Structure 1
Amino acid sequence: MNWTNVVVAVLAGYLIGAIPIGFLVAKAYGVNILQHGSGRTGGTNVLRALGFGPAALTVLGDALKAVAAIALARHLLLTGELGAALAGAAAVIGHNWSVFLKFRGGAGGMSTAAGLIALNFYVGIPMAVIAIIVFYFSRYASVATLTASVGSLAALTIVLLAFPRLAHWEHLIYGFLTALACVWSLRPNIQRLLAGTERRVTRW
């Protein structure tokens, strides 16, 4: 393995993830999303501030960031699954703490889910469906994000133990790092969930 390429993949993954899609979309509509709602750049805050169209663009962009980072590592830098997993995780970290926004960003749910699908289709698709169902019935974006991140780590562990041919151990690194990043970013939301004061998403 070329470790230089792995380092390049991680740095590139972070910078790709750090592109503040939600901020740029909102800016195009004349809104500074950092000054609205939660101050995050993810699809939920954009939805509350600007509606479905801008939020859909944000969600798509955030998803593509993790996919692009993994594709770059796998197919151009030829880093193997370790480099792909680290690059994907770096993209989520870049999304949550963007160097272009003084280390502000989103919570990483959409980037995490899309990255897992790119890494492992067999685990990623079911987890994405479960997260969507959780969101649909709960209307809590934070709960859906936690499902996508922590649930992905649990699902990867189960698959590796029960069906090792369907996953690579390196994917666990992605699951662990993204779960940690999402949980850390959602600490205020978790506190509000426990207190019963978390806002539901009601605007479509």
Structure 2
Amino acid sequence: MQIIKLFLAVVVGYVIGSIPWALIIGKVFYKTDIRQHGSGNLGGTNAGRVLGKKAGIAVILLDVLKAFLVVFFFSKVSVDAAVLCGLSVCVGHCFPIFADFKGGKAVATTFGYLLAISLFITHEFAFMFLVPISIFLATLAITKYVSFASIIGISSSIFTSFYIQKNILISYSLLIIAIFVIYRHKDNVVRILKGNEKKITWLK
């Protein structure tokens, strides 16, 4: 029975993670396929750059929410199910079955995962969510690079997790996600090193 629950957590997490909100909002409200514009990425940053501030914020919030809700649901099943679901949401977001397996970079979904586990599993909201999101926002404010801020903010969650809570599965899940996020941003890192990475402007 436990194996079935874990399998369902993976499947549901992946399917929900695959919902491409950036693509949906772009096509429904702006008659625009953002995969054909900007970076082509199905994430909040590109949505904001192509469609405007309101669309960008909406996409970010919806991507956070899709991770938050399914992880919250499976936290009622078991910690293992919630963690596997969280990992699957991030994979689904990056490789969505509903958008030819070309999606975003799992930043907003990771913060949705962090929010859910901080509230419903570890009960360490300050360290498990506020610290990483604050580091992300501070880095973004200073550098204006969403990619760099994402890597720093999400990577910081590994250290806070190992330090503040005892569930090793959660800590290692964050390590896996951080490595995944860094890999998804490898081209951004190269552009930053070359000095031609675009800075975010639409949040002003």
Q: Common fold, TM-score beyond 0.5?
A: yes
Tell me the residue number matched to 2:162.
Answer: 157
Residue 148, structure 1, aligned to residue 153, structure 2:
yes
CA distance, structure 2, for counterparts of residue 89 and residue 148 of structure 1: 17
Where do residues 40-189 of structure 1 align in structure 2 (5 Å cutoff)? 40-75=41-76, 78=77, 80-120=78-118, 121=125, 122-160=127-165, 164=166, 168-189=167-188
Give yes or no for contact 2:136–2:154 (8 Å, CA) kept in 1.
no
1:132, 1:144 within 8 Å by CA — same for their partners in 2? yes
* 1:188 Cα deviation after fit: 0.6
> Partner of 2:202: helix, strand, or coil?
coil
Q: Secondary structure at the match of 1:41?
A: coil
Task: Provide the C-alpha distance between the structure 2 equivalents of 1:128 and 1:138, rounded to a whole number of angstroms.
Answer: 15
Deviation string 1:41-88 (CA, Å, 9 cap, x unpaired) is 11110111011111111011100111122022122xx1x111111101
Q: Indicate conservation of the 8 Å contact 1:113/1:124, yes or no.
A: yes
Name the CA distance, whole Å, in 2 between partners of 1:189 and 1:86.
Answer: 27
Q: CA deviation at 1:181?
A: 2.0
Q: Distance in 2 between matches of 1:126 and 1:3?
A: 34
Residue 35 of structure 1: CA displacement? 0.6
Percent identity over the alignment?
28
Query: Match of 1:93, as an amino acid?
Result: V
Which amino acid is the alignment partner of residue 83 of structure 1?
A
Aligned twin of 2:121:
none
SS of 2:15's partner is helix
For residues 71-125 of structure 1, give each alpha carbon's deviation from its aligned partner in whole angstroms, at most 9, with x where no partner exists: 22122xx1x1111111011101111111111111111111111211211223112
Aligned residues: 195
AA aligned to 1:70 is: V
| CA distance, structure 1, for counterparts of residue 144 and residue 150 of structure 2 | 11
More displaced, 168-177 or 41-50?
Answer: 168-177
What letter is aligned with 1:155?
T
Tell whether 2:25 aligns with 1:25. Answer: yes
Q: RMSD over aligned Cα, in angstroms?
A: 1.4
Report the Cα offset of residue 40 of structure 1. Answer: 0.6
Contact 1:26 1:33 in 2 (8 A): yes
For structure 1, list consecutive stretches of 5 or more residues without a partner in the other structure.
none
Runs of 4+ in 1 over 4 A off after TM superposition: none
Rounded Cα–Cα distance in structure 1 between residues aligned with 2:189 and 2:135: 19
Measure the CA separation in 2 of the matches of 1:12 and 1:66.
11
Match of 1:10 in 2: 10
**So what's the TM-score if we normalise by structure 2?**
0.90
Is the CA contact 2:132–2:156 (under 8 Å) kept in the aligned structure 1?
yes
8 Å Cα contact 1:93/1:178 also seen in 2: no
Give the TM-score of the pair, scaled to structure 1.
Answer: 0.90
Task: State the SS of the aligned residue for 1:192.
Answer: helix
